[in-house]
Amino acid sequence: MMKEILLIRGMTCTACAAAVEDTVKKLEGTISATINFAAEKLAVEYDENLLNIKDIQKVIVKLGYGAVLEAPSNKSEVIIPIGGMTCTSCSGGLEKALSKTGGILNASVNFATEKATITYNPGLIRLSGIRHVIEKAGFKPLEIEKKADALDEDRLRKEKEARTLWYKFIISVIFCVPLFYIAMAPMVPGVYLPYPTAILPMRYPLHNALTQLILTIPIVIAGHKFYTVGFRALWNRRPNMDSLIALGTTAAIIYSFYSFYLILTGATTGNFMAVMYLYFETAGVIVTLILLGKFLESVTKGKTSEAIKKLMGLAPKTAIVIQDGKEIEMPIDEVDIGDIILVKPGDKIPVDGMVIYGHTAIDESMLTGESMPIDKKAGDKVYAASINKNGMIHFKAEKVGSDTALAQIIKLVEDAQGSKAPIASLGDTVSLYFVPAACFVAIFSFLAWTVAGQPITFGLMTFVAVLIIACPCALGLATPTAIMVGTGKGAEHGILIKSGEALEITHKIQTIVFDKTGTITEGKPEVTDIITADVITRDRLLQIAASCEKGSEHPLGEAIVKCAENENMEFLEVMKFEAIPGHGIEVELTGVQALIGNRKLMDERGISLGELTEEADRLAEEGKTPMFAAVDGQIAGIIAVADVVKKSSLDAIKSLRKIGIEVAMITGDNKKTAAAIAKQVGIDRVLAEVLPQDKAAEVKKLQDEGKKVAMVGDGINDAPALAQADVGIAIGSGTDVAMESADIILMRSDLMSVSAAIQLSKSTIRNIKQNLFWAFLYNTLLIPMAAGLLFAFGGPLLNPMFAAVAMSLSSVSVLSNALRLKRFKPQKV
Amino acid sequence: MMRKIYFAVCLAMMLLLTSCASWDLIGIGAVEAFDRVINSENVRVENTDIGWVLNMPDGNASLSLDRDGSTSRISFQEYTVRLIDGNVLWMGASFEFNTTEYETEMTPLTIFKQILHYRPEFIGYHDTGHHYMLHFGDSGNMLMFARDIASQEAGVVFMLNPEQFIEAGVDVHNIDGWHFGPHETMTIRGQTVTRDFLVKTFDLR
């Protein structure tokens, strides 16, 4: 089984994307094929015994699109000018030496051009390594010709596309304006517009027709893609929007040629009036306006993906790596895990890593939206693209290339932008059937009017008008553009939405369940009280408890360990460690058997709490978590740990309740502590003492009440609940597993982002519905008019040129409406 | 570069078109149709000192084509129109134009061809009636002749602007042999208009 990603070029609408996907899926050997229209990529999985990637490419090219394999991330190409070669044996020798080097996949040295073209695996060998090989062979590697990276190439390609469309439009306009004037000016009733005598239609009809034809040709050339793509799609029985334009304008042109013939024979037949039945200007204006629409689309689409481009542009291109005590500036692609990197004040962090020396403040706002710079010192993590404010630091690279947080975010946003929300399938389905239906209505209107006795030209005009106005491009753009802008906007605010589906469901959420520790609270509990039973001293109790918790990942345990470390306590050796989920831990230390955990654990092991029960209750009512410690089967004391509620938690919950969302809290903590925390933040519904494996069940219970439930969590134990919920929201400061299970990731720990995510979802869905409404409105209102239905009852008829105006306007208005989402700002309570 | 070349070619083509008389289909058709009028059995052609007179079937009206020095003229006239009060009215219109070329052999057709050469804008075609038209300048008078005199009832039509007659106090509704009323025609620019004309029609079938 093979997986490849193909870059698809030439798709103009979702109908094109659907055609590519469906065609590839039907091939024998294809296991799955998923197209991402926005990113212009097709992910295909196939059985290499039955199918070859070239066969897939051939089929796509046959449909009329380009298909190129995406360069794998473990393959790079570089062209290095070589100095010092004197003959072809030098180049031959160097080529051999390079080819033998591990990590180099292919090397070709050209003596004539004095260049070496090398394909290599950057994971196995760096550029510096390749240079070293060249030097060792006795030659000099000169300044490398920098190949544009994928981002630059993509940006350049898109800019070139937009520029080409603009030039085509300008050429079209230059010829279309005089064409339109020549065709229309004599028809203006009662007004004598200036007109060249030599081409007066009723005096020199042949001159007039020839002039119109000559002016039309460059317009058709400028819009030739509509014809090549459109007719090919029609031939392949997958008509798309280009097919409609090609059919409509070709019908107008063919009829005009027929009128041209009548004029030519006019000297003997007297058919000079055929000059009034030339429709070159109709075809010309339609092509010109559609080109304008396409250009505006390309510009606007570029803006909808500005967020992702902005993210991509954040990372610096070079890094200062300390090698052998020297500072070496190198391309970021060459930075390896483990490299020590120097970052000066004002510079951007190049890759993810951990500070090993120095301290500074880092601005992480472009990643998390957090506006306050964060202090960093040795041991703290730093992330690519964040800005070093005032100090100089050395840090060790831990994640490079596609593993950095930035790269992960970009991939996430890109995937989300290309994913389909359920509401989008409505637009896609309609688009798919719309084109054939439009062709049918067009043919029917032509035949109906001709049979009804109207001149053939009348039927022709309705035919052309229906085809043009029925173009479903606005419908196809309605959802993806809003999702692109919405997810991009979310990324700006530190809200990473993984899919269009998540974006759509979020706005329907009725109940949100918050995990307590690390979500509502800071997740950094501290020891507040140590109460001993008479059998042990305070310090001994702390020493035992801390020694037991040393290996624990639980925040409560970490608080105890931290407390002991602060008091410079010596830790005892752990002989045996067992975690009892939802209860606590059982540990065998040197000469001591200890149990640390909650009341449930003590009850189950039959350990009487004695007088400590009252103390425990008091502590719980204060919002603290009492952890019981038993030594050798006897209760030894209580260590109370308290976790501070996040500053934003109260406001966030107020904000959610204001928009009608029910808020609940779920925790494994005891009921009294949970209730105290819930009271602080204004939550009424508390699900306490819930075992990790039961969290998902509790979420399901809420769902069984008929509600759409979102779960907000951060820990490994929240993962099942996050996956169970209709929308799982992971706090960015949480674990990778939680983030993997969630549908939305909040880069900030601020719970106000939850409210912002819901507001963004509502705004995006509202925008999509507006777009669909406008797209549908244009088509449904104007198709009957174009077909002449209103004309039959004395109403207006839609001229094909006005149909083209309306069609371009519909795409532009949908795109412009989607761009309004860029103004989205989360409302605070 | 290619774009500039194409633009230049288009411009050249347009200039070429303006000077290419052989593509003047209406002109070609008009000449052929007028030739058929001249050679019609029902039209009697008379030579004069300065040109020719084509006498219409009713014997009262005629179409003249003459050349006097550098001035060529085409006109139609009727001399014996009697009004109710007994007065005799001359009905007619004339169109003169200067010519700079001297034809060695002058015929009625060559004079007509001169109009095409010197004043092509006054020749047109009215699709509804299948008639070629000769506008007598801006006077509002015109001569129309059928594309196919063998099949059309109105072979030659004299059309007069009635304004001068109305100003002179003539009852334009009561002129013997002439019909007064609105008629559809085409302007020099090719726009269809409906105006009042005094009209006399001759059937040359």
Q: What is the pLDDT of residues A15-69, one digit of tens each?
A: 778 888 888 998 998 988 887 766 677 888 888 888 888 889 988 988 878 888 7
For residue A478, is pLDDT > 80?
no
Q: Measured between alpha carbons, how far is residue B205 from residues A47, A659, A732, B104, B178 in Å?
A: 85, 91, 99, 33, 20
The neighbouring-strand residues paired with A387 are: A348, A363
Chain-chain contact of B25 with A263 (C-beta, under 8 angstroms):
yes
Cα–Cα distance, A481 to A819 (Å, whole number): 8
> What pLDDT is stored for residue A413 in this prediction?
63
What is the three-class DSSP state of B45?
strand
Cα A435 to the center of its chain, rounded Å: 29
CB A198 within 8 A of CB B17: yes
> What pLDDT is stored for residue A343 in this prediction?
92
Where does the pLDDT of residue A353 fall: very low under 50, low under 70, confident under 90, or very high at 90 and above? Answer: very high
For residue A117, is pLDDT > 80?
yes
Chain-chain contact of A267 with B28 (C-beta, under 8 angstroms):
yes
Chain-chain contact of B25 with A205 (C-beta, under 8 angstroms):
yes
CB A134 within 8 A of CB A82: yes
Chain-chain contact of B127 with A210 (C-beta, under 8 angstroms):
no
Cα–Cα distance, A457 to A788 (Å, whole number): 13
For residue A459, is pLDDT > 60?
yes
Q: Nearest by CB to B23, from A174, A196, A207: name it.
A: A207
- Helices A671-681 and A649-658: crossing angle in degrees, nearest 10, is 70
* CA angle A573–A574–A580, rounded 5-degree value: 155
Question: Tokens 């933040």 belong to which residue?
Answer: A681
Mean of the pLDDT values across residues A548-575? Answer: 86
Please give the structure tokens belonging to residue A184: 């229309």
Q: What is the distance in angstroms between the Cα of A297 and the nearest Cα belonging to chain B?
A: 25
> What pLDDT is stored for residue A739 in this prediction?
64
Contacts of B125 in chain A (CB under 8 A): 202, 270, 272
> What pLDDT is stored for residue A507 in this prediction?
87
CB B75 within 8 A of CB B63: yes
For residue A470, is pLDDT > 60?
yes
> What pLDDT is stored for residue A480 in this prediction?
72
Q: Measured between alpha carbons, how far is residue A263 from residues A206, A259, A269, A280, B26 in Å?
A: 6, 6, 9, 15, 10
For residue A173, is pLDDT > 90?
yes
Chain-chain contact of A186 with B120 (C-beta, under 8 angstroms):
no
Contacts of B31 in chain A (CB under 8 A): none
Q: What is the distance in angstroms between the Cα of B34 and the nearest Cα belonging to chain A?
A: 13
Where does the pLDDT of residue A560 fall: very low under 50, low under 70, confident under 90, or very high at 90 and above? Answer: very high
Where does the pLDDT of residue A239 fall: very low under 50, low under 70, confident under 90, or very high at 90 and above? Answer: confident
For residue A142, is pLDDT > 80?
yes
For residue A368, is pLDDT > 80?
no
3-state helix, strand, coil in chain A (%, to 5): 55, 20, 30
> Mind listing the pLDDT tens digit for each residue in A488-533?
888 888 888 877 778 888 988 999 999 887 788 877 778 989 999 9
What residues contact A104, with CB distance under 8 A and at least 6 apart?
Answer: A98, A118, A119, A120, A121, A125, A130, A133
Average pLDDT score, chain B: 82
> What pLDDT is stored for residue A4 in this prediction?
81
Known catalytic residues of A are 515
Cα–Cα distance, A64 to B30 (Å, whole number): 52
> Mind listing the pLDDT tens digit for each residue in A603-631?
999 999 988 999 998 888 887 888 999 99
> What pLDDT is stored for residue A145 in this prediction?
56
> What pLDDT is stored for residue B97 in this prediction?
83
Q: How far apart are the first and last CA of chain A?
A: 53
B177 touches chain A (CB under 8 A): no
For residue A116, is pLDDT > 70?
yes
Chain-chain contact of A273 with B32 (C-beta, under 8 angstroms):
no
Chain-chain contact of B18 with A270 (C-beta, under 8 angstroms):
no
Q: Measured between alpha carbons, how far is residue A502 from residues A40, A520, A659, A766 in Å?
A: 22, 22, 19, 15
More confident residue, A671 or A513: A513
State what percent of residues in chain A have pLDDT above 70: 89
* CA angle A317–A320–A324, rounded 5-degree value: 145
> What pLDDT is stored for residue A405 in this prediction?
77
Contacts of A199 in chain B (CB under 8 A): 14, 17-18
A 10 A CB-CB count for A158 gives 17
Q: What is the distance in angstroms between the Cα of B48 and the nearest Cα belonging to chain A?
A: 32
The neighbouring-strand residues paired with A709 are: A511
A272 touches chain B (CB under 8 A): yes
State what percent of residues in chain A have pLDDT above 90: 20
Q: Nearest by CB to B125, from A214, A215, A272: name it.
A: A272
* Sign of torsion over alpha carbons A209, A210, A215, A217: positive
Residue of B nearest to A174 (CA): B7
- Chain B from 131 to 170: CB within 8 A of any A CB: 147
Q: Nearest by CB to A270, from B120, B121, B130: name it.
A: B130
For residue B50, is pLDDT > 90?
no
Chain-chain contact of A196 with B18 (C-beta, under 8 angstroms):
yes
Check: pTM over 0.80? Answer yes or no: no
More confident residue, A189 or A752: A752
Q: Which of B6, B14, B188 to mutate to test the interface with A (most CBs of A within 10 A)?
A: B14
> What pLDDT is stored for residue A447 in this prediction?
94
Contacts of A272 in chain B (CB under 8 A): 25-26, 125, 127
CB A517 within 8 A of CB A528: no
Nearest of B175, B165, B200, B197 to residue B184 by alpha carbon? B197
What is the three-class DSSP state of A131?
helix
Average pLDDT score, chain A: 83
Cα–Cα distance, A475 to A241 (Å, whole number): 11
> What pLDDT is stored for residue B87 in this prediction?
67
Q: What is the distance in angstroms between the Cα of A745 and the nearest Cα belonging to chain B?
A: 53
Q: Measured between alpha carbons, how far is residue A350 from residues A319, A331, A333, A411 in Å?
A: 6, 10, 10, 18
Cα–Cα distance, B148 to A249 (Å, whole number): 37
Where does the pLDDT of residue A148 fall: very low under 50, low under 70, confident under 90, or very high at 90 and above? Answer: very low
CB A483 within 8 A of CB A640: no
Chain-chain contact of B17 with A207 (C-beta, under 8 angstroms):
yes
State what percent of residues in chain B have pLDDT above 70: 83
Mean of the pLDDT values across residues B124-138? Answer: 87
- Helices A280-304 and A800-819: crossing angle in degrees, nearest 10, is 10
Q: Nearest by CB to A266, from B3, B25, B190: name it.
A: B25
> What pLDDT is stored for residue A588 in this prediction?
92
